[in-house]
């Protein structure tokens, strides 16, 4: 397998800096070697509404950049993931489009040869690394923590494009959440959209969709909603801010980045994960965290 390039979503650098530090820390702790490619640009996702070809061009540029460096792409943003994978599919099926796009890329000395693979970081954990490899590095697990696992749209759909998991009954992300000892509870709106694409467009609709999800998670008894996509994170944080303004935030489960959840189990300093002491308290993470029982050999030696 080729080395992996970490594709950082544009929105993290300003709004979600802890996404960057937490991702770096967890990948480091799990021994996943990756490259940063500073030349990466927008995946094109936000341009789909506006100009589909501009979207495909943006996506293809990143694919070609990774190929030039002989890297595969790993991303933690669902929208980047979905948009890169869909562009790959379009460029595989429409050779006129491929020729056009490559013509535009050639000005930058780039050429998309359709050789690069795109992974979600969850695929890297679930399919490439495997649960066992992660498990043996855990220093602590949660006991009795109830989590509503939120996949996000573009990780699952359209399934004939992304092929991440079964689109109606996905399991991979739940498995990865369960790996931390937390209980991934069934909840009503699990596979629905968080409403983020309507943020700034139709705020009423965005709020209604996001709020319905958080309410459903609360009803299912979840203490927190676990997300992977930065857009979902921004959206849920925004819902919380709006709810707090209206004094309705009580009991609304907060959204936490999967790497924050997993990072604590890997013994990473909460600061690197962007978790404040207050958050640790409020989310119940601190209380639920139990050190992993030492291996029998080590136990024997301490007993002796």
Partner 1 sequence: MIETVLLYLALAVFAAGSVYRISAWFRHDIRSDTPPATPGARFGAALKGIAATVFSPKLFTLIRVFVMDVLLQIRLLQRSPYRWVMHICLYGGFMVLLLLHAMDGLITAKLFSNYQSTANPWVFIRDFAGLLVIVGVVMALRRRFFGAAPRPLTAKADTLLIAILAVVLLSGIVLKASKITSHTSYLDMVDVYAATFEEEELNALEAYWVDQYHVVSPNMTGPFEPETLEAGEELHEMACAECHARPNWAFTSFAVAKAGKRFALRLDALNFPGLMWWLHYLACMLGLAYVPFSKMFHFFTTPLSLMTNAVTDKHTASPLNLATKQMMELDACMHCGACSLACSVAVTVAEVPNALILPSEKIPAIRELAAGKPLTANRVRRLQQGLHLCTNCNHCTEACPAGIQLTDLWAAVKETVLQKGVPEFLLLSPLSVHRGVTAGAALDSDRYREPLETALGAVGGGRLTEFRQDPQPLAVPGSEKVFALAGQWMQPEAYAACYRCMTCTSACPVVRDNPDEAAKLGLLPHQIMYAVKLRQWDLIFDSRMLWDCVGCYQCQEQCPQSVQVADVLYVLKNQAISRAVAREFAGDRKGVQ
Instruction: Catalog residues that contact partner 1 under the rule CB under 8 A.
Output: 10-11, 13-15, 38, 40-42, 45-54, 57-58, 61, 79, 90, 93-97, 104-105, 107-109, 153-154, 156-159, 167, 192-193, 195-206, 208-209, 212, 231, 234-235, 238, 241
Shortest distance (Å) from residue 201 CB to partner 1:
5
Contact 19, 75 (CB under 8 A): no
User: Whose Cβ is closer to partner 1: residue 45's or residue 258's?
Assistant: 45
Strands 140-142 and 289-291: antiparallel
> Which is closer to partner 1, CB of 181 or CB of 274?
274
Of 125 and 151, nearer to partner 1 (C-beta) is 151
Least separation in angstroms between CB 89 and partner 1: 8
Closest approach, Cβ 169 to partner 1, in A, equals 13
Per the CB < 8 A criterion, the answer to whether 264 and 140 are in contact is: yes
CB closer to partner 1 out of 61 and 146:
61
Q: Give me the torsion for CA of 131, 84, 35, 264, rounded to 10°.
A: -40
Whole-angstrom Cα distance, residue 135 to residue 149? 19
Alpha-carbon distance of 255 to 263, in angstroms, equals 15
Name which of 241 and 282 has its Cβ closer to partner 1.
241
Q: Identify which of residues 57 and 275 has a Cβ nearer to partner 1 in the complex.
A: 57
User: Cβ of residue 99: shortest distance to partner 1, in angstroms?
Assistant: 11
Provide, rounded to whole angstroms, the least separation between the CB of residue 304 and partner 1.
Answer: 54
State the distance between the two ends of the chain, measured CA to CA, in whole angstroms: 45
In this structure, what are the phi and psi dihedrals at residue 260, rounded to the nearest 5 degrees?
Answer: -70, -45
CB of 271 to partner 1, least distance (A): 21
- Tokens read off for 279: 């958050």
Burial zone of 117 (CB within 10 Å; 0-12 exposed, 13-18 middle, 19+ buried):
middle
Task: Tell me if 53 sits within 8 A of 161, measured CB to CB.
Answer: no
Task: Report d(CA 127, CA 248) in Å as an integer.
Answer: 40
User: Residue 99 or 290: which CB sits closer to partner 1?
Assistant: 99
The DSSP string of 17-30 is HHHHHHHHHHHHHT
Shortest reach from residue 43's CB to partner 1, in Å:
9
Write the CA distances from 8 to 42, 177, 223, integer angstroms.
9, 22, 28
């Amino acid at each position: 397998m080729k080395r992996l390039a970490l594709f950082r979503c544009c929105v993290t650098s300003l709004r979600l800096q802890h996404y960057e530090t937490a991702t770096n820390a967890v990948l480091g702790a799990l021994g996943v070697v990756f490259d940063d490619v500073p030349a990466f640009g927008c995946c094109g996702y936000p341009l789909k509404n506006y100009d589909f070809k501009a979207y495909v061009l943006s996506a293809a540029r990143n694919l070609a950049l990774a190929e030039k460096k002989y890297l595969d792409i790993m991303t933690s943003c669902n929208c980047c993931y979905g948009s890169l994978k869909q562009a790959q599919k379009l460029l595989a099926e429409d050779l006129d489009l491929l020729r056009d796009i490559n013509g535009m890329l050639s000005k930058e000395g780039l050429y998309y040869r359709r050789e690069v693979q795109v992974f979600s970081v969850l695929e890297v954990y679930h399919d490439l690394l495997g649960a066992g490899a992660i498990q043996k590095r855990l220093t602590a697990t949660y006991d009795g923590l109830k989590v509503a696992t939120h996949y996000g749209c573009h990780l699952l759909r359209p399934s004939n494009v992304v092929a991440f998991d079964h689109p109606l009954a996905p399991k991979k992300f739940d498995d990865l959440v369960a790996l931390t000892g937390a209980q991934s509870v069934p909840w009503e709106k699990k596979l629905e959209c968080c409403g983020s694409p309507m943020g700034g467009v139709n705020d009423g609709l965005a709020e209604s969709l996001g709020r319905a999800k958080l309410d459903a998670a609360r009803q299912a008894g979840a203490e927190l909603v676990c997300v992977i996509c930065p857009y979902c994170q921004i959206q849920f944080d925004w819902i919380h801010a709006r709810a707090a303004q209206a004094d309705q935030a009580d009991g609304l489960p907060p959204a936490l980045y999967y790497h924050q959840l997993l990072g604590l189990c890997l013994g990473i300093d909460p600061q690197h994960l962007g978790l404040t002491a207050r958050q640790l308290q409020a989310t119940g993470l601190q209380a639920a965290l139990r050190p992993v029982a030492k291996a029998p050999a080590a136990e024997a030696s301490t007993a002796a």
